[in-house]
């Protein structure tokens, strides 16, 4: 009897090589990892991580993962700490717990300056918390 492969494993077999190629480039980029937590938004037990590469040519790639949450949407917003701001990058939902940045995404010069100043953040929204359930400040290391 042949064992069946779960849809999650099939997605991972497709996503891992895709994400790996997104990080390969002649331009040098810093890999950034940020924890997502509900304590920056609302009391919550769900968590996650944001893994980004933001290059000097302003291209962005990466993956956002959550645990214990069926996330609806995820974005990168522009806004100073303590302020809500507009969406600057929409992430693509690739599973109920993972989002990817669309290949070829590039920040504007003003958005890159906001990144350099620590004024970008990732936000994950769920059906229960449409205003955002998880939050991570994105800063250069």
For the chain, the structural domain boundaries read 7-138
pLDDT value of position 84: 87
- Strands (E) located in 1-141: 29-37, 47-55, 60-67, 71-78, 87-95, 98-101, 120-126, 134-138
Q: How many residues does the chain have?
A: 141
What is the CATH topology of the domain spanning 7-138?
Immunoglobulin-like (2.60.40)
Per-residue pLDDT at 74 exceeds 80: yes
Task: With beta carbons less than 8 A apart as the criterion, state whether 118 and 81 touch.
Answer: yes
Residues 38, 125: Cα–Cα separation, whole Å: 11
pLDDT value of position 43: 53
Helix (H, G, I), strand (E, B) or coil at 126: strand
- Residues 24-63 as b/e (b if ≥16 CB within 10 A, e otherwise) read eeeeebeebebebbbebbeebebbbebbbbbbeeebbbbb
Task: With beta carbons less than 8 A apart as the criterion, state whether 133 and 50 touch.
Answer: no
Q: What percent of the chain has pLDDT above 70?
A: 65
Greater confidence (127 vs 122) lies with 122
Angle made by CA atoms 76, 103, 111, in degrees to the nearest 5 = 35
- Residue by residue, what is the 3-state secondary structure of 30-47? EEEEEEEEHHHCCCCCCE
Query: What's the pLDDT band for 71 if we cut at 50, 70, 90?
Result: confident
């Amino acid at each position: 009897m042949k064992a069946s492969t779960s849809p999650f494993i099939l997605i991972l077999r497709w996503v891992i090589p895709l994400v790996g190629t997104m990080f390969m480039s002649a331009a040098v980029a810093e890999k950034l990892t940020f924890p997502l937590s509900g304590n920056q938004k609302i009391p919550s037990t769900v968590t996650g991580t944001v893994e980004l590469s933001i290059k000097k040519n302003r291209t962005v790639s990466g993956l956002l993962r959550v645990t214990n949450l069926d996330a609806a949407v995820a974005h990168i917003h522009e806004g100073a700490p303590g302020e809500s701001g507009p969406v600057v990058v929409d992430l693509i939902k690739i599973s109920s717990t993972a989002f990817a940045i669309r290949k070829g995404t590039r920040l504007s010069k003003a958005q890159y300056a906001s990144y350099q100043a620590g004024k970008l953040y990732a936000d994950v929204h769920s059906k229960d918390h449409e205003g955002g359930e998880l939050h991570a400040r994105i800063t250069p290391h």
